[in-house]
């Protein structure tokens, strides 16, 4: 990365501190208080907050607007941006608009397919893919140009993130894809939720062997489980998710009212393991519609106070 990026997340990672990010899903409505409430729950516990972009293809308040609400509260957002809903013209325009509002981190994604959402009859766009989006943001930052090569008057200088799923198939290709994302311009990676630690460690080893951990900051993704049912659902129904049988059993073996506690315990254990893995530079906590638990997890994991 040549051009100076003024993101707190970037500063923390470049100093070699173990970063903590969390996720905030915008509401299905136009009420800013919902975002602010979630922001309050996360404030002081995380370095940056990912704001999802119509996740699971369900229409919500735009990521840019929700990011802006968080900014006003002094939180640093990571704007998630998917290529599903906007063509390259709209994407570039929104990247510039977001930066003009003070948004300095972006997570480039292709996005969940609309058939999983509430409006499966929608037309998808996918004009470019997530790899192309990463390269686009990088070119804007490093060369100051848009996709047409036009020199921008004040280019956006975003800290660029990408996703990686070490648990999807084909496994041997997953590191090649990571390498491609880094070449395209990714500065940091947030992974799919880690439950299968053995597989994650194997993927990390492959990444280290290719020298990738020297080039990118990897933040391991975690999602606290609430019940054995949730563990089973994620394993069986969510594509690309891998919850090993022993973990499902562990959740099932505790009394129902203790399940939440056990899920949090597993999450904290996972974070402790992540801290020990060479090349893992942080954790990304995706507590879906359960933002109030993030503070407790971060504290119990010994990751407070934040810098």
Partner 1 sequence: MIVAEQKPLSEIKEIIALYKKILIMGCGTCVKTCFAGGEDEVAVLASALRLACKKDGKEIEIEELTIERQCEDEFIRESAPAVSRNEGVLSLACGAGVQALARRFGKTPVLPGVNTTFIGVLEKQGIFTEECSGCGDCNLAIFGGVCPFTRCAKKLLNGPCGGSQNGKCEVNPESDCAWHLIIERLRILGQMDKLRIYVPPKNWQTSLSGGPRKLVREDHMI
Output 35 or 206, the one with its CB closest to partner 1. Answer: 206
CA distance 198 to 169: 15
Output 152 or 176, the one with its CB closest to partner 1. Answer: 176
Is residue 123 near partner 1 by the rule CB under 8 A? no
The least CB distance from residue 167 to partner 1, in Å, is: 8
The least CB distance from residue 10 to partner 1, in Å, is: 23
The least CB distance from residue 251 to partner 1, in Å, is: 22
Out of 11, 17, 127, 273, point to the residue binding partner 1 (CB under 8 A).
Answer: 127
Is residue 290 near partner 1 by the rule CB under 8 A? no
Measured at the alpha carbon of residue 171, what is the angle toward residues 197 and 284, in degrees to the nearest 5?
Answer: 45
Q: Where are the beta strands (DSSP E) in 183-232?
A: 188-193, 217-222
Site for partner 1 in 223-262 (CB under 8 A): 239-240
Is residue 92 near partner 1 by the rule CB under 8 A? no
The least CB distance from residue 125 to partner 1, in Å, is: 9
Tell the residue number behind the tokens 């293809």, with chain if given.
57
Burial label, 243 (beta-carbon count in 10 A; 0-12, 13-18, 19+): buried
Site for partner 1 in 132-151 (CB under 8 A): 132, 135-136, 147
The least CB distance from residue 15 to partner 1, in Å, is: 30
Output 128 or 243, the one with its CB closest to partner 1. Answer: 128
Q: Which residues pair with 24 in a beta bridge?
A: 51
Chain CA centroid to CA 100, Å: 22
CA distance 246 to 178: 28
- Whether the CB-CB separation of 297 and 35 falls below 8 Å is answered with no
Out of 59, 90, 176, 272, point to the residue binding partner 1 (CB under 8 A).
Answer: 176
Contact stretch for partner 1 (CB under 8 A) within 8-16, 120-128, 259-267, 299-307:
120-128
In sequence order, what DSSP letters do the residues of 13-76 get, joined into one string? Answer: HHTT--EEEEEEPPPSSS-HHHHHHHHHHHTTT-SEEEE-SSGGG---S-HHHHHHHHHHTTPP
Is residue 14 near partner 1 by the rule CB under 8 A? no
Is residue 84 near partner 1 by the rule CB under 8 A? yes
Is residue 129 near partner 1 by the rule CB under 8 A? yes
- Whether the CB-CB separation of 159 and 216 falls below 8 Å is answered with no
Q: To the nearest 10°, the Cα dihedral for 44, 305, 99, 84?
A: -80
The least CB distance from residue 246 to partner 1, in Å, is: 20
The closest alpha carbon to 203, from 186, 187, 221, 185, belongs to: 221
Output 92 or 213, the one with its CB closest to partner 1. Answer: 92
Q: Which residues bind partner 1 (CB under 8 A)?
A: 84, 88, 110-111, 113, 115-116, 124, 126-132, 135-136, 147, 163-165, 167-170, 173, 176-177, 179-180, 183-184, 192, 239-240
């Amino acid at each position: 990365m040549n051009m100076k990026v003024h993101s707190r997340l970037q500063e923390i990672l470049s100093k070699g501190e173990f970063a903590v990010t969390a996720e905030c899903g915008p509401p299905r409505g136009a009420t800013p208080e919902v975002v602010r409430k979630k922001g309050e729950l996360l404030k002081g516990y995380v370095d940056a907050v990912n704001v999802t972009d119509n996740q699971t293809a369900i229409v919500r308040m735009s990521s840019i607007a929700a990011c802006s609400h968080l900014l006003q509260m002094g939180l640093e957002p990571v704007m998630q941006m998917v290529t599903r809903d906007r063509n390259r013209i709209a994407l570039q325009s929104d990247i510039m608009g977001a930066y003009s509002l003070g948004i300095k981190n972006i997570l480039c994604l292709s996005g969940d397919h609309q058939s999983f959402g509430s409006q499966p009859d929608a037309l998808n766009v996918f004009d470019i893919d997530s790899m192309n989006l990463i390269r686009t943001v990088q070119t804007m930052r490093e060369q100051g140009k848009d996709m047409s090569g036009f020199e921008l008057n004040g280019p956006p200088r975003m800290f660029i993130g990408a996703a990686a799923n070490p648990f999807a198939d084909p496994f041997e290709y997953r590191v090649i894809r990571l390498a491609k994302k880094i070449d395209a311009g990714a500065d940091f990676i947030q992974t799919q939720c880690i439950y299968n630690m053995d597989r994650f460690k194997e993927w990390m080893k492959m990444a280290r062997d290719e020298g990738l951990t020297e080039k990118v900051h990897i933040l391991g993704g975690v999602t606290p489980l609430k019940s054995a049912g949730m563990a089973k659902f994620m394993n069986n129904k969510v594509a690309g998710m891998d919850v090993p049988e022993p973990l499902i059993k562990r959740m099932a073996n505790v009394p129902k009212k203790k399940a939440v506690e056990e899920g949090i315990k597993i999450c904290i254990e996972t974070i402790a393991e992540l801290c020990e893995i060479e090349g893992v530079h942080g954790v990304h906590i995706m507590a879906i519609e359960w933002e109030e638990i993030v503070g407790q997890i971060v504290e119990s994991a010994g990751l407070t106070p934040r810098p």
